[in-house]
Amino acid sequence: MTVCESDSGLCWDLDEETLARAILTFCLNTADALMTALLKGTADAWEALTLIRDSDPELRTSAGAGKVIEQAFCIGMTRWGSKPTPQAVRSFRSALATWQQRLRTLPTWDRDYLCGWFTMEGRQWIIAPHDVWWPTRLNDLALLGRCAPPLCLWGSGDRAALTSCPQPVGIVGSRGVNEYGRRLTTDIAVHAAQAGHLVVSGGAMGADAAAHRGALDAIRAYGIGRAGRTVAVFAGGLNHAGPQCNSELFDGIAENGGALVSELCPGTIPEARRFLSRNRIIAALSSTLVVTQARLRSGALNTVNWGSELQRDIHAVPGNIDVPGNGGCNRLIQEHRATIVCSVDDMDDVWHAPHPLESFHDVATQRKDGSDCDAGTPRDAVILRDSSPSGGNRSSAMTESQRAIIDAIRWCHRRRIAPTAQSVAEQLRTRSGEKGLETGATEGKPTEGKGADAVPERGMHELVAHVLSQLGTMELIGLITVENGRISIVPETGGRRRS
C-alpha cells in the first residue's frame, strides 16, 4: 500500500513510520495490547497498516491477507512472551474488524493532507519511538505483558521537555484537594523544579494544577535554563485539553519550555475510561511518583497501581485522619505501598541529584548596555565584538560552534519547534551523529576537519551546558536575543533577517 503524493509540498515533517502510527492510533478507541502484538509481529508500523487494510473483506485488495495478518499477530504474541491461544486469536479478529471499520472513515490517503490533518496544520507535533525526543521510560509498559505503550504522542510546546530529565518526578492527587494538599503539592513541585527535575502530572484541577503551577513558579523565579520543566498528560485529543479553567495554565506550560501531550488523535473526546489509560503514561514517564492528597477512591491511586507494577519509587504525604480527602494517602502508607513524606526537604534524599544547569539569560541581560568587557564578560565575546564587521556580514567572525548553533536555531524555527537551549542541543547532537563527527575525549582537542571550536560530541547534559555558554556569549555580542527562554536571531544590518 502506498500513500498518494500531492503537489502541495506540505507534509509537516512526518516520516512514514510516524504517519503510519498516527493512522493506527486513529483506528483505536484507546490503547490496545492487540495492536501492540501485531506491531511486534511485523517489520514496522507501515506493514501492520498495510495488512489491516489489505485484509478488509469489503476492500478485497489481497487474497489470503486475512491469514497473513493472523500469522503476524501470533508471531507478535510469541515475541511478547505470550502464547497465541484460540481465545486470543478470536479477540484479535474482533478487534481487527473494528479497526478496519474505523480505517474506512479515514478522509483520504493523500500523504500531505494526512500529515496536515493529524498535526492540525502544524499546530501540534507527533513523535514516535524512533524519535530522539521519545521518552524511553514509556517502553517499560510493554514489559508488563498485557499493557500497550502509546503508538505515538501528540504534543504542543517543546517536545525536548520529554527528555530534559533522566528521572522525572510525577506528582498526582485528587481534584478536590484542600488548602493543605494544594500548598504541599505546590511546595514539592517547586522543590523538584528548583533541582532541575521534570515535573509530570495530568493537567486536571486540584493537585495536578498545583503541581504544574509549582514548576512554573520555579521557572519564573530561576529561569528556564536553571529550573526543571513540566509536562501535562491528557486523556483526549489536545484540542479537547481541559478543564477550560486551566487554559491559562496550559498556555504557561507550553510557553515556558514544557509540553502538553496525549496518545490520542486530535478530536478524541476525553471519556472517563481514557483517564485510566492516561494514568499509565504519567506513571511510566515518572521515576519517582509522589501522591500529595487523595481519597480512598481517587483516580490518583490508579496511577499508583501503575507505578507499583512498573516498579517506580512511590511516596505519599500523610494527612489528618479525620479528613476523608487524606484517606488514600494514609492507606498507602499503612499498607507499605508508599514511603511517607515527612517534609518537603526530605525529598532531596528521594529524587536524583540536581541537574548541573545554569541560566544564560540572566547573565546575558546584565550586559545589554553594550559596555566594555569586565570580569563577568567572556573574553571571546569581546574578541568577536571587536572583530565583527560593522554593518556587514557577521558570519565570518563567528566560531564554528556559533555557526552550528545559528543553523540549529533556524532549523527549529522552520520546524515550528520552540528554539530553546535544550531543543538546539538536541538538533546539534542529531546533526553531529549524521555527519559522523569525531571529537576528542578531552577539552580543547580539535574536532577532525572542524577545528577546536566545532560542536563537541558529548553527553546531553554537557552539550546543553556548552550551548548555554555559547548562547550567553552570542546574546552579549548581539547575534541573538533571548526572551522567556526562547531564542531569536537578530537581523543583520540592512534589514536582512537571519531566520
pLDDT mean over 221-244: 90
Please give the residue that has the higher pLDDT: either 494 or 79: 79
Average pLDDT, the chain: 81
pLDDT mean over 300-319: 95
Kindly indicate the confidence band of residue 141, based on its pLDDT and cuts at 50, 70 and 90.
very high
* DSSP assigned state of 389: P
Q: pLDDT at residue 110 above 80?
A: yes
Please give the residue that has the higher pLDDT: either 305 or 480: 305
Cell of 306: 501503575
pLDDT given for residue 370 in this prediction:
38
Q: Which H or E run contains 316?
A: strand 313-316
**195 neighbors 265 (Cβ within 8 angstroms):** no
- The residue type found at 460 is M
Q: List Cα–Cα distances, 187 to 171, 207, 394, 488, in angstroms.
A: 11, 11, 46, 33
The gap between the terminal CA atoms of the chain, to the nearest Å, is 38
pLDDT mean over 206-225: 92
pLDDT given for residue 154 in this prediction:
97
Cis peptide bond prior to 129, omega within 30° of 0: no
pLDDT mean over 468-480: 78
Write the Ramachandran bin of 284: left for phi over 0, alpha for psi from -120 to 50, otherwise beta: alpha
pLDDT mean over 30-51: 93
pLDDT mean over 202-224: 93
pLDDT given for residue 484 in this prediction:
60
Kindly indicate the confidence band of residue 416, based on its pLDDT and cuts at 50, 70 and 90.
low
Kindly indicate the confidence band of residue 126, based on its pLDDT and cuts at 50, 70 and 90.
very high
Least confident of 106-110, 209-213, 258-262, 492-496: 492-496
Kindly indicate the confidence band of residue 390, based on its pLDDT and cuts at 50, 70 and 90.
very low
Q: pLDDT at residue 368 above 60?
A: no
Q: pLDDT at residue 482 above 90?
A: no
DSSP string, 428-488: HHHHHHHHT----SSTTPPBTTTBTTSPPP--HHHHHHHHHHHHHHHHHTTSEEEETTEEE
Closest CA to 260 of 290, 302, 230: 230
Q: pLDDT at residue 304 above 90?
A: yes
Residues 155-192: tens digit of each pLDDT = 999 999 999 999 999 999 999 999 999 999 999 999 99
pLDDT given for residue 270 in this prediction:
87
pLDDT mean over 130-145: 91
Kindly indicate the confidence band of residue 374, based on its pLDDT and cuts at 50, 70 and 90.
very low
pLDDT given for residue 5 in this prediction:
39
Q: pLDDT at residue 328 above 90?
A: yes
Least confident of 117-126, 292-301, 334-343, 466-475: 466-475
Cell of 406: 545559528
pLDDT mean over 319-343: 94
pLDDT given for residue 459 in this prediction:
66
Kindly indicate the confidence band of residue 355, based on its pLDDT and cuts at 50, 70 and 90.
low
pLDDT given for residue 445 in this prediction:
34
Residues above pLDDT 90, as percent of the chain: 55
pLDDT given for residue 371 in this prediction:
36
pLDDT given for residue 420 in this prediction:
83
Q: pLDDT at residue 462 above 80?
A: no
Kindly indicate the confidence band of residue 395, based on its pLDDT and cuts at 50, 70 and 90.
low
Least confident of 43-57, 87-101, 471-485: 471-485
pLDDT mean over 428-440: 56
Q: Which of 209-213, 341-345, 410-414, 473-477 has the highest mean pLDDT?
A: 209-213
Dihedral (C-alpha) 95, 97, 98, 99: value to the nearest 10 degrees?
90
pLDDT mean over 272-276: 87
**211 neighbors 187 (Cβ within 8 angstroms):** no
Kindly indicate the confidence band of residue 197, based on its pLDDT and cuts at 50, 70 and 90.
very high
Place of cell 548596555: 369
Q: List Cα–Cα distances, 317 to 102, 204, 432, in angstroms.
A: 44, 19, 45
Kindly indicate the confidence band of residue 363, based on its pLDDT and cuts at 50, 70 and 90.
very low
- State how far the Cα of 92 lies from the Cα of 81, in Å rounded to an integer: 17
Q: pLDDT at residue 55 above 80?
A: yes
pLDDT given for residue 29 in this prediction:
82
